[in-house]
Amino acid sequence: MNKVEVRLYASLRKYHPSSGDSDAFNLELAAQAKLGDLIAKLKIPRQEIGVLMVNGKWQKETQPLKDGDRVGIFPLIGGG
């Protein structure tokens, strides 16, 4: 099992396990889990995600996660 720290930003906070809490939380995942597995576990629709970061670097859903990683998930940002 790997334990990762997760932060959800802006409109994605509604997927926080503690009802929209804005604080970081720890999540345990299987040893071979990837970023996409974490997204699925939190039930975040992929079309709502704009940027995925692991340890401060942009990543794709195929990025393997390891114990102690810090994950940030940001929504799509619109403007005009």
Domains and CATH numbers, the chain: 2-75 (3.10.20.30)
Helix, strand or coil, per DSSP, at residue 54: strand
Write down the pLDDT at residue 78.
Answer: 66
Rounded to two decimals, the pTM is: 0.91
Give the up-direction half-sphere exposure of residue 75: CA atoms within 13 A in the CB hemisphere.
14
Write down the pLDDT at residue 77.
Answer: 80
Question: Starting at the edge strand that comes first in sequence, how are the strands of the sheet with 57-58 ordered?
Answer: 25-29, 2-8, 70-75, 49-54, 57-58
pLDDT digits (tens), the chain, 80 positions: 999 999 999 999 999 988 656 789 999 999 999 999 999 999 999 999 999 999 999 999 999 999 999 999 999 986 55
Write down the pLDDT at residue 67.
Answer: 97
Write down the pLDDT at residue 68.
Answer: 98
**10-to-3, 23, 31, 64 alpha-carbon distances in Å:** 23, 12, 29, 25
